[in-house]
Amino acid sequence: MENYTMEGRTYRYYGQEAPLYPFGYGLSYTTFKYRDLVLSPPVLPVCANLSVSVVLENMGQQDGEEVVQLYLRWEQSSVPVPRWQLVAFRRVAVPSGRETKLSFQVAAEQRAVWAQGWRLEPGTFTLFAGGQQPGQQTRAPSEVLTARFTVTGAARPLRGC
């Protein structure tokens, strides 16, 4: 095999076609609301990690569990990349009428692209946080929050950080 590109071979590279059962697919007996997505810092050096926090509130009358998912999208990359990539997830139990603040770290390595070796590139990125993949159509209501951040500096090999 000489062509190692993933385009057309995995759901992450199918373009606009959504998978039949995406990650996190399912129903819930309650309703969750996401709010207060914060990225820190919003502008970071190429080798830095990103801190993320989001508030999850159980708006329903039943206690419930939610799989909080974070996805990353490269707005411009020098090589083909997935339309978005799962970078973190956590199953959280939230009692009815309560809320919880979740914190995540998105490591610089998770922004690396393969260009004859793993590289970190500057640019603009979008982070999605919610109970499903971005753009996913579900029977159970869920929302996905978005926020952008910028990476500054020169492109460099991952091992150079």
- Distance from C-alpha of 70 to C-alpha of 91, rounded to nearest angstrom: 12
pLDDT at residue 140, rounded to an integer: 54
Write down the residue that tokens 């959280």 correspond to. 92
* Contact predicate 30/64, CB 8 Å: yes
For residue 123, the tally of other CB atoms under 10 A from its CB is 16
Q: pLDDT tens digit string along 10-44? A: 655 555 666 666 655 666 788 899 999 999 999 99
> What six digits make up the tokens of 68?
């909080």
pLDDT at residue 23, rounded to an integer: 59
- Which of 16-20, 87-91, 144-148 comes out lowest in average pLDDT? 16-20
All structural domains of the chain, each given as residue ranges with its CATH number in brackets, are 32-160 (2.60.40.10)
Whether 135 has a pLDDT exceeding 60, the answer reads: yes
pLDDT at residue 59, rounded to an integer: 94
- Distance from C-alpha of 130 to C-alpha of 47, rounded to nearest angstrom: 26
> What six digits make up the tokens of 107?
């490591």
Three-state SS annotation for 109-160: HHHCEECCCEEECCEEEEEEEECCCCCCCCCCCCCEEEEEEEEECCCEEHHH
pLDDT at residue 132, rounded to an integer: 83
Whether 7 has a pLDDT exceeding 80, the answer reads: no
pLDDT at residue 17, rounded to an integer: 62
